[in-house]
Chain A
Amino acid sequence: MRPRQKQLLYAGLTAILILIWIFYSADDLQTTAVLAGTVRAATLLALGAMCGMIGERSGVVNIGIEGQFLLSAFAAFTITSMTGSLFMGTLAGVGMGLIMGWLLAAMAVGLKVDQIIAGTVLNISALGLTSFFYDRSRSLGIGKYTNIDLGPLADLPLVGTVFFSRPPLTYLTMALLVVVHIALFRSVWGMRTRAIGEHPGAADTVGIDVLKLRYFNVTIAGGLAGFGGSYLALEAVGTFSRAMSGGRGFLALAVMIFGRRTPFGAYAAALFFGFTTALQNQFQLNNTFDIPPQFVGMLPFVVTIVVVALSGLFGSMRDPAALGQSYEKG
Chain B
Amino acid sequence: MSRSVFRIVAIPFMAVVFGVLIGALLIVSQGGSPAEAYKALLVGGLGDSDAVLRTLQKATPLIFGGLAVAFAFKAGMFNIGGQGQLLVGAVFAAGVGFGIDGLPVLIHLPAALIVGAVAGALWGGIAGTLKATTGAHEVIVTIMLNFVAGNLTDWLAANPWKDNSGSNIVARTPLIENSATIPTFGAVPVGFLLAVSVSVACWLVLERTSYGFEVRSVGHNRHAAQYSGMKVGWIMSSTMAVSGMLAGLGGAVESLGVDGRFEAGVNVGLGFEGITIALLARANPLGVVPAALLVGLMEAGAARMQYKSDVAPELIDVIQALILFFVAAPIIIRWLLRMRHDNSEQVQLGAGWGKS
Task: Name A residues whose Cβ lies closer than 8 Å to a Cβ of B.
Answer: 61, 63, 107, 111-118, 120-121, 124-125, 127-129, 131-132, 134, 247, 250, 253-254, 257, 292, 294-295, 297-298, 301-302, 304-305, 308-313, 315, 317-320, 323-326
Min CB gap A129→B, angstroms: 6
Distance, CA A146 to CA B309, complexed state (A) = 42
Whether A312 and B354, one on each chain, are in contact in the complex, defined by CB atoms closer than 8 angstroms, is: yes
Whether B155 and A121, one on each chain, are in contact in the complex, defined by CB atoms closer than 8 angstroms, is: no
- 7 interchain residue pairs of minimum CB distance: A128-B317, A319-B352, A324-B350, A312-B135, A125-B321, A131-B314, A294-B155
Known contacts: A124-B272, A312-B135. The answer to whether A114 contacts B140 by CB under 8 A is: no
Whether A308 and B140, one on each chain, are in contact in the complex, defined by CB atoms closer than 8 angstroms, is: yes
CB interface residues, B 287-341, toward A, < 8 Å: 312, 314-322, 324-325, 328-329, 331-332
Query: Does B130 belong to the interface (CB within 8 Å)?
Result: yes
Query: Does B204 belong to the interface (CB within 8 Å)?
Result: no
Whether B350 and A127, one on each chain, are in contact in the complex, defined by CB atoms closer than 8 angstroms, is: no
Min CB gap B253→A, angstroms: 23
Whether B130 and A305, one on each chain, are in contact in the complex, defined by CB atoms closer than 8 angstroms, is: yes
Whether B151 and A295, one on each chain, are in contact in the complex, defined by CB atoms closer than 8 angstroms, is: yes
Whether B147 and A132, one on each chain, are in contact in the complex, defined by CB atoms closer than 8 angstroms, is: no
Total contacts A-B at CB 8 Å? 161
Q: A128-B316, A308-B136, A312-B134 are in contact. List 20 more A-B contacts (CB 8 A).
A: A107-B328, A112-B331, A113-B346, A117-B78, A124-B320, A128-B318, A129-B318, A132-B26, A294-B154, A305-B130, A305-B145, A305-B148, A312-B137, A312-B355, A315-B354, A317-B354, A318-B354, A323-B350, A324-B351, A325-B351
Min CB gap B41→A, angstroms: 15
Distance, CA A129 to CA B134, complexed state (A) = 37
Whether A114 and B346, one on each chain, are in contact in the complex, defined by CB atoms closer than 8 angstroms, is: yes
| Secondary structure of the B contact surface, majority rule | helix
Whether A114 and B350, one on each chain, are in contact in the complex, defined by CB atoms closer than 8 angstroms, is: yes
Name 16 interchain pairs, CB-CB below 8 A, sorted by A.
A112-B346, A114-B328, A114-B346, A114-B348, A124-B317, A128-B317, A131-B314, A132-B317, A298-B148, A305-B140, A305-B141, A313-B134, A318-B354, A320-B352, A323-B352, A323-B353
Residues of A within 8 A of B321 (CB): 121, 124-125, 127-129
Query: Does B225 belong to the interface (CB within 8 Å)?
Result: no
Residues of B within 8 A of A118 (CB): 328
Across the interface, name the chain A residue whose C-beta is closest to B269. A127
Min CB gap A1→B, angstroms: 19
Residues of B within 8 A of A301 (CB): 144-145, 147-148
Query: Does B276 belong to the interface (CB within 8 Å)?
Result: yes
Known contacts: A63-B139, A128-B314, A308-B137. The answer to whether A298 contacts B354 by CB under 8 A is: no
**Interface readout for B25-36 with A: 1 if CB under 8 Å, 0 if not?**
010000000000
Across the interface, name the chain A residue whose C-beta is closest to B324. A121
